[in-house]
């Protein structure tokens, strides 16, 4: 299996706070890799370093073998990295449909003149982008709220719209930052199903940050565990569930 993403010995500090210390791991093409750890372990700092929001002081991030460490987030998005956020970041005064359409801007080729006049190539492009977005709306089963203002939706539905917006970028690597945080059991089950469907039906490589250990164990191919900005374990769900360092740091109990 080829390597999609290679995180090479990255370290990130904020003043005297060491958020990440010498973190290295690979995300393999077509897998679901999850990152777990207690609050403050460095999980979001890690995803922000991969996404380009943060620039690590040490180390490299490689996508498909190419060094993207110094690239800004929009260039990484053009290369196929898309993400959701721990705290939902949607246009709350726009509809669900318009939020997804906004994510298509990276794929738009029409110039200002043809876009303003809306004829020829611009019209055909708009139709194609709408077709992609409508497919995502069907896939995520949000037809009923497609024209609803996002700010009026329930938390779980807003999370689903945000996932749809990330998919609208047509990424090859999807970064999910706690996509099930704050959800009830039914909403979590729905989101887990959509993540698995994205992986299986769309063949997408996924890196997932999530606190629900049971869910992570169920859907992940491999897991990386962090604690205090350091990687303490990496392996299959079975290996991680038996790892003493993970049990102490994350599960809060000693192994029998």
- Indicate whether 241 and 252 sit together in one domain: yes
- Indicate whether 37 and 155 sit together in one domain: no
Alpha-carbon span 85 to 187, nearest angstrom: 17
- Indicate whether 68 and 40 sit together in one domain: yes
* Domain around 138: 89-170
Whether 193 is covered by a domain: the verdict is: no
| Residue 238 per-residue DSSP state | H
Whether 26 is covered by a domain: the verdict is: yes
Whether 195 is covered by a domain: the verdict is: no
- Indicate whether 72 and 60 sit together in one domain: yes
pLDDT (0 to 100) of residue 126: 73
- Indicate whether 256 and 210 sit together in one domain: yes
- Indicate whether 42 and 143 sit together in one domain: no
pTM of the model: 0.88
Residue pointed to by tokens 């993970």: 246
HEC string of 90-151 equals CCCCCEHHHHHHHHHHHHCCCCHHHHHHCCCHHHHHHHHHHHHHHHHHHHCCCHHHCCCEHH
Retrieve residue 147's tokens: 């024209």
Whether 213 is covered by a domain: the verdict is: yes
How many domains does one find in the chain? 2
pLDDT (0 to 100) of residue 181: 85
Whether 194 is covered by a domain: the verdict is: no
CB 95 within 8 A of CB 146: yes
pLDDT (0 to 100) of residue 108: 61
- The CATH number that applies at residue 207 is 3.40.50.300
Alpha-carbon span 110 to 119, nearest angstrom: 10
Whether 3 is covered by a domain: the verdict is: yes
- Sequential pLDDT tens for the chain (256 residues): 799 999 999 999 998 899 999 999 999 999 999 999 988 899 999 999 999 999 999 999 999 999 999 999 999 999 999 999 877 778 888 999 999 988 887 666 654 444 454 555 666 777 788 889 999 999 999 999 999 999 999 999 999 999 999 999 999 999 999 998 888 889 999 999 999 999 999 999 999 998 888 889 999 999 999 999 999 999 999 999 999 999 888 656 544 4
Name, in order, each residue with C-beta under 8 angstroms of 155's C-beta and a sequence gap of 6 or more: 88, 182, 183, 187
pLDDT (0 to 100) of residue 97: 93
- Helices 155-168 and 185-202: crossing angle in degrees, nearest 10, is 10
Residue-wise burial string across 154-183, b where 16 or more C-beta atoms lie within 10 A, e elsewhere: eebbbbbbbbbbbbbbbbbbbbbbbbbbeb
pLDDT (0 to 100) of residue 109: 61
- Indicate whether 144 and 219 sit together in one domain: no
Whether 190 is covered by a domain: the verdict is: no
Q: Where are the alpha helices (DSSP H) in the chain?
A: 43-51, 73-78, 96-102, 112-117, 121-139, 155-168, 185-202, 213-219, 237-241, 244-246
- Indicate whether 95 and 114 sit together in one domain: yes
Alpha-carbon span 144 to 97, nearest angstrom: 11
Whether 191 is covered by a domain: the verdict is: no
pLDDT (0 to 100) of residue 211: 84
The angle at the Cα of 91, spanning 90 to 97, to the nearest 5 degrees, equals 90
In a 3-state reduction of DSSP, which class is residue 224? strand
- Indicate whether 254 and 211 sit together in one domain: yes
- Indicate whether 93 and 66 sit together in one domain: no
- Indicate whether 141 and 98 sit together in one domain: yes
- Indicate whether 157 and 178 sit together in one domain: no
Beta bridge partners, 176, equal 208
């Amino acid at each position: 299996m080829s390597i999609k993403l290679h995180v090479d010995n990255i370290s990130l500090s904020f003043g005297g706070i060491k958020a990440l210390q010498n973190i290295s791991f690979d995300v393999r093409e077509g897998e679901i890799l999850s990152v777990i750890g207690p609050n403050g372990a460095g999980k979001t700092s890690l995803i922000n370093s991969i996404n380009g929001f943060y620039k690590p002081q040490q180390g490299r991030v490689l996508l498909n073998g190419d060094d993207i460490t110094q690239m800004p987030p929009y260039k990484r998005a053009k290369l196929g990295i898309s993400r959701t956020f721990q705290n939902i970041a949607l246009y709350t005064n726009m509809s669900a449909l318009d939020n997804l359409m906004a994510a298509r801007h990276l794929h738009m080729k029409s110039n200002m003149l043809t876009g303003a006049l809306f004829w020829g190539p611009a019209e055909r492009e708009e139709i194609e982008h709408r077709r992609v977005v409508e497919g995502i709306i069907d896939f995520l089963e949000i037809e009923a709220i497609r024209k609803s203002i996002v700010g009026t939706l329930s938390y779980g539905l807003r999370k689903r719209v945000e996932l749809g917006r990330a998919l609208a970028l047509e990424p090859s690597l999807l970064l999910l930052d706690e996509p099930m945080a704050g959800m009830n059991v039914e909403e979590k089950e729905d989101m887990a199903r959509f993540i698995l469907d994205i992986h299986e039906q769309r063949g997408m490589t996924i890196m997932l940050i999530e606190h629900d250990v049971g869910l992570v164990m169920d859907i992940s191919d491999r897991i990386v565990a962090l604690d205090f900005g350091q990687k303490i374990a990496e392996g299959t769900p079975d290996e991680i569930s038996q790892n003493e360092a993970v049990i102490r740091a994350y599960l809060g109990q000693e192994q029998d």
